Amino acid sequence: MESSWTALTIVAALWLVALSAQVADHATARFDHLRLARGVRTRLRLHPVAWTVPLAGLAIVALTISADWSTRLFFAEPAQTPAAILLALGTVVVAVVIVAIIAVVIVRPPADSYRLVRDELIESAGLRIHQDQVDEFRARVTAIDNAAKAHRAADAATVSAALQLSVRTPHRLIAPVLAIAFVITAVVGTAQGALSGVVVALACAALVVSAAIGIVAAQASLALAMSVRSTQDVYRGELMSLIVEAERSSKKRVAGLGDRVNRALSILREQQEGTK
């Protein structure tokens, strides 16, 4: 009976962590969408890291429990010293991996975007740039176009589109899977007589809540992606207009200009030598 309650408690605790990530996913998507619609912000701030805080908290809890177990094994049971050392080393490795991931995310440079290229062209307004620079801007726009094709959002935030998005992003399935494990654990415990039917009902309710919030959060993410795409289309239109203007005033290369300059200099030198 005690083992059934222990397993149920662990699964329920993990599901609550995943549920908090689902709520954060939905709330941050709505928040960024609102800021984007009002023109307060032009970049997504919170939604890309919606799952980071709950998963980081879970990692910290796991590291704490692992450190506690390794300490208990090392000091309380001398016969388990090798296991305690392995557990402690594993904890250190996981901690190093977490710190490395955070460091990579922090120092990673921002991806190129229409807005970034547009801002660079605006800063160079009034200056004549070379045709090579204009070609480079066009190449960057082409690269951004190709990258955007792979991340096109659905045309509508429907339930079917939300389900497809959940399948393409496996981390959104963590909470429903844990809810299913919650139900299975409750059913097995009830069949063994260790749990009551109320626990099964609560587990089924948790599954329904998790599935509903998951769909709503995916729809909010789709709506946000559609809004971002519309904003980027506006930036791209402004950018292409700026590129056309820059190309009109660019310093184009003249064919044979270098040969003509060299010929004129040689004639000038010959004239100077003839006057001496």
Using CA atoms, how far apart are residues 37 and 196, in angstroms rounded to an integer? 49
Q: Is residue 166 part of a domain?
A: yes
For the segment 151-209, what is each residue's pLDDT rounded down to a tens digit?
665 556 677 888 888 888 888 888 899 999 989 988 888 888 777 788 889 989 999 99
Using CA atoms, how far apart are residues 122 and 219, in angstroms rounded to an integer? 35
Q: Report whether pLDDT(269) > 70.
A: no
For the segment 24-42, what is each residue's pLDDT rounded down to a tens digit?
888 888 888 887 776 555 5
Q: What is the pLDDT of residue 257?
A: 47
What one-character DSSP code corresponds to residue 48?
G
Q: Is residue 74 part of a domain?
A: no
Q: Is residue 258 part of a domain?
A: yes
Q: Is residue 149 part of a domain?
A: yes
Write out the two tokens for 92. 């250190």
Structural domain span for residue 216: 111-275
The residue behind tokens 């993990």 is: 14
Strands (E), 19-110: none
Q: Is residue 253 part of a domain?
A: yes
Mean predicted confidence (pLDDT) in 97-123: 71
What one-character DSSP code corresponds to residue 112?
P
Q: What is the pLDDT of residue 147?
A: 72
What torsion, rounded to 10 degrees, do the Cα atoms 121, 126, 127, 129 define? 50
Q: Is residue 43 part of a domain?
A: no
Q: What is the pLDDT of residue 254?
A: 47
Question: Residue 130: beta bridge partners?
Answer: 251
Instruction: Spell out a b/e string for 30-58, using b for 16 or more CB atoms within 10 Å of the CB, else e.
Output: bbbbebbeeeeeeebebbeebbeebbeeb
Mean predicted confidence (pLDDT) in 234-239: 82
Q: Is residue 182 part of a domain?
A: yes
Q: How many distinct structural domains can be found in the chain? A: 1
- Sequence-separated (6 or more) residues with CB below 8 Å from residue 128: 249, 250, 251
CB 186 within 8 A of CB 203: yes
Q: What is the pLDDT of residue 204?
A: 93
For the segment 240-260, what is each residue's pLDDT rounded down to a tens digit?
888 887 777 765 554 554 555
Q: Is residue 238 part of a domain?
A: yes
Q: HSE of 239 in the Cβ direction (CA atoms, 13 Å)?
A: 23
Q: What is the pLDDT of residue 211?
A: 92
Mean predicted confidence (pLDDT) in 90-99: 77
Using CA atoms, how far apart are residues 224 and 108, in angstroms rounded to an integer? 23
Q: What's the mean per-residue pLDDT of the chain?
A: 77
- Report helix, strand or coil for 130: strand
CB 118 within 8 A of CB 239: yes
